[in-house]
Amino acid sequence: MTRTNDTIPPPIAVNFHLYKPCNYRCRFCFATYRDIDGHLSLADAAALLRALREAGAEKLNFAGGEPTLHPQIGELVAEAKRLGFVTTLITNGARLDPLLDDHAHEIDWVGISVDSGDEQVQAELGRGRGGHVERSRRHAARVHTLGIGLKLNTVVTALNWREEMHALVRELRPARWKVFQVLAIDGQNDGQVEPLLIDRERFDAFVARHKNLHAEGLGPVAEDNDAMTDSYAMIDPLGRFYGNHGGRYVYSQPILQVGVAAALAQVQFQVQRLVNRGGLYQWRR
């Protein structure tokens, strides 16, 4: 369904999946982009950032793949900050340290992906071959020292839904802990994700087990499969908005060709669904 441009509010928060390559092979990953080759040039990516800002976007999440592997991630973070965006990096930490060395002052938030406190579980899920949790501890400590906001992202699957993560969450002290129900996307993670899928009841059990952390300001912000659908303004490595429709991604025309409003009209992003899942919060630091 395509809507007329005048009915579409600006994409206040945008997830820019700017780069396909990743150093991990997470079995549940819904951003593998098997159907995409290449990525925008630095000049086009910068032009896209300007177009988004002019359209009213306030917060920009750099994601992937693994965004720290992008050869010009530093330049893009700097340009986003110059334009006035609240900048966020969603990362497994692959090359986070060099980026922080040069651009910490231009990064408002770092989101670190940790699904379990057990290194073996992380390895079974495809997050490296061991040592991911320990590296994440080190990265979290540095992020705190630099005064950058820390987010923690956890995907709940058949391997970790019974886990208690209280100790790890208290140690990492994220300002925001996002907890997602594992999501199947045809063409992205099919053939890998099926043994990891869980029903809503098991996801809710994981969330309920950790609700007592709310009293410490560390409680989970939970998103089941329904909450994730049409609630994210997502851009692929080729500079197109996309959304999950019928369990498969649907892409807009390139934003730089048709404009932000026209491209967004070609997917079913809904600002109210973003609000309903708690996607608007005090993100300026």
Q: Which among 22, 57, 78, 140 is annotated as catalytic?
A: 22
Q: DSSP label at 43?
A: H
User: Is-catalytic flag, 22?
Assistant: yes
User: Is-catalytic flag, 26?
Assistant: yes
Q: In sequence order, what are the residues at sequence separation of 6 or more whose Cβ sits closer than 8 angstroms to the Cβ of residue 37?
A: none
- Mark out the alpha helices in 210-278 (DSSP H runs): 225-228, 255-258, 260-264, 271-276
40 and 84 Cβ atoms separated by less than 8 Å: no
Gap between the Cα atoms of 35 and 184, Å rounded: 16
Say if strands 86-91 and 109-113 run parallel, antiparallel, or are unpaired: parallel
Q: DSSP label at 130?
A: B
107 and 77 Cβ atoms separated by less than 8 Å: yes
Q: Which among 26, 77, 80, 140 is annotated as catalytic?
A: 26
Gap between the Cα atoms of 126 and 189, Å rounded: 12
Q: Which two tokens stand for residue 203?
A: 């996801």
Gap between the Cα atoms of 263 and 166, Å rounded: 42
Q: Which helix (H) or strand (E) holds 150?
A: strand 149-156
| 129 three-state secondary structure | coil
User: Is-catalytic flag, 151?
Assistant: no
| 52 three-state secondary structure | helix
Q: Which two tokens stand for residue 104?
A: 């910490």
Q: Which helix (H) or strand (E) holds 243?
A: strand 240-245
Any idea which residue has 């009213």 for tokens? 56
Q: Which among 14, 29, 168, 196 is annotated as catalytic?
A: 29
40 and 202 Cβ atoms separated by less than 8 Å: no
Please list the active-site residues.
22, 26, 29
